[in-house]
Structure 1
Amino acid sequence: MTYKYLGSREEKTRYEYKVAEILRVVDGDTVDLAIDLGFYLLKQERIRVADIDAPESRTRDLAEKKLGLEAKDFVQQQLETAAEIIIRTEKIDKYGRYLGWLYLDGAEISLNEQMIHDGYAWSYDGGRKTKNLGELEQRRRALGTWREGS
């Protein structure tokens, strides 16, 4: 199976910062971060993880909620275990959040792309959202990361 990654990050990225602190993982595609602007200046920002759509963790659909909570847990675990987090950003979305690509410990692949590959999120280009929960389950079963129950 091949995965579609949207565009080159180098083409889109305008700004790059170190993350000083993870304040909160809101859900699988939104995080609150303290960003190091340099010169001992920190800025707290809500970041929309760019080019992905994770299942909702706050929904009445129990199947989607299960996957949404697992996506949130995956992001939390990845961020908490990283020694260094770099955020690359280009613009603000229609809700006032910066769109960002998160790179952990010097990795070439962003956390965004890793979430698509590992079955925690779908690729999203800003258009109509297509939520195929079975697709994520199938991908995670193939990788051996699927959790039964809950």
Structure 2
Amino acid sequence: MTFTPGPRTARALSTALLGAVLALTGAACGGEAETESETASSDSAAPDLGQNLDRIRLTEGVSYTMEDGSGGMVTIRLTGHEKGDEPSVEISVAPEEGPAAEHTLRLGEELEIGGEPWRVSEIGLSDSSSQPSSATLTRGGEDGGE
């Protein structure tokens, strides 16, 4: 004799399956939210481009504009890099009014953007011309903004 589920049993099984899928999806989403809200650390991935709280990830050749402390705009651009024993990046900082300033910085060095210190916390150099290099800046300098 084989068991054939009735309409109530089938409905109960599909409801249980749907609940399990929703629970797993919610758990997966919850884990991602916690990861994104963690504070900046050297082993956490920076956003692909742009600003995330106190971090900016710049990609070579792409301009990023942000508001400075006085309400003006500042354009930041990773303009080049230098490979070697101590790799460095060239970053242009151009306030809304005034000339751009070029900075050549190594990992851990600081520059001022909009009146605030920013530290080079990550340098990603590319070996190919098809992949641009990148740099991550962390607000607040050595103390991490705290």
- Larger relative contact order, structure 1 or 2 (CA cutoff 8 Å, min sep 6): 1
Same-fold call, TM cutoff 0.5: no
- Bigger Cα Rg: 2
TM-score normalised by the chain length of structure 1: 0.28
After TM superposition, the score normalised by the length of structure 2 is: 0.28
Q: Select the structure that is richer in helix.
A: 1
